[in-house]
Amino acid sequence: VNLAECVPEKPKRSTLNQLTRTLLRKYDCGVRPVHNWTSSTTVYIDLILQSVLDVIWRDEFLVWNPEDFDGITELSLSSDAIWVPDIIVTEVEEGKSPPIPYVYVNSSGSVRNYRPIQAVLACSLEMYTFPFDKQNCSLTFRSWLHSKEIDLALWRSAEAIAGDKREFMNDGEWELLSVPSQYWQIHQDDADYAQIQFNLLIRRRPLLYVVGLLIPSIFLMLVDVVSFYLPLNSGTRIAFKISILLGYTVFRVNLTDELPATALRTPLIGVFFVVCMAMLMLSLIKSILVVKLLHHSEKELESSLEEDLLSLNDVPDPPSGLEWLLQELVFLRMAFSQEDSESSAQAEWLSLCLRLDRLLFRLYLLVLAVYTGTLLLLWA
């Protein structure tokens, strides 16, 4: 019996295991993987918003012939065992990234590092045209330490990245318009650092704020305009306008938290609310002025009538007989004539007040139209 046949054959290492051991046998993860130290390592960056950030580079020490390893063209390696570029995002204040312990390496030495990042960015928001505002938030990628040793490039074309919206949550408050990108080098500490900046152009969906803030204000302004058609001498116009002003004040107080807080520039919607309240107050003051003039004329007519009646009664000796009857007839005639003149004067004064009221109403409409047009131009 052949003893060699009785000895169990040692299991061969798998081809994948041999390939991994071959690649990492003399590998030093602390050394940048280039054969010529003067050549730079190009790191390719790809970005899909609300998705995965791809960082790709070529490692010259991780190259093999697939025919020598059963046709294996790609394998995963521990990210702690190889060199990884120190690419950072400068605008990120707080970032959450789940630990991904592996990277993909193909036979040509291309290393792909999938890095899902949930980031909180520091964006300079321009709230002047709120809620019809557009914002531009930037993401700048650069190496923290390496200058000439690492260069950056886009993995896909700039046009493909700019129009890629497939992963963006498009059902929220913001709408993604585009993600343009640009490459440049910044000179710092006598060295040039490559940078790639992605600009996230987003636009707010204004429907919620239009329905909840602008339309109620517009309705109250329209009701105030219609209240000018109430009778001037009925006494209900001023009470109605005061009710509108109080209702608008309560409406503004309840919606204070809905407005953006900014100390640099007052949003147009804040100006809109202030001017609407000023217009309501102007409308109330105008009505008070016209009603005051109307009642002031009535007091003057009443005082003049009392003076005439006192002058008739101011007789030194009381008349008797025929003289008394004649005096009473004269008194009645003057009273009727005074009443006719009073009614005529009141009608003329009321007509004058109505003309003044129409004039002020047209001026009010003119100011309101100019204000509305200016606000729409600024918002547009």
User: What is the structure's pLDDT at 263?
Assistant: 56
User: What is the structure's pLDDT at 316?
Assistant: 52
Phi first, then psi, for residue 106 (nearest 5°) are -105, 175
**DSSP codes, 156-223:** S-HHHHHT--TTS-TTSSEEEEE--EEEEEEEETTEEEEEEEEEEEEEE--HHHIIIIIHHHHHHHHH
Q: Which CATH class is domain 16-204?
A: mainly beta
Q: 0.85 exceeded by the pTM?
A: no
User: What is the structure's pLDDT at 64?
Assistant: 92
H or E segment at 289? helix 268-313
**DSSP codes, 319-377:** --THHHHHHHHHHHHHHHHHHHHHHHHHHHHHHHHHHHHHHHHHHHHHHHHHHHHHHHH
User: What is the structure's pLDDT at 62?
Assistant: 92
**Chunked mean pLDDT (size 10), the chain, 380 residues:** 48 74 87 86 77 76 90 90 87 70 90 79 80 88 86 88 74 82 87 89 88 90 89 81 90 79 76 89 88 69 52 53 66 63 65 83 90 84
| Domain residue ranges of the chain, discontinuous segments joined by + | 16-204, 208-313+321-379
d(CA 228, CA 355): 13
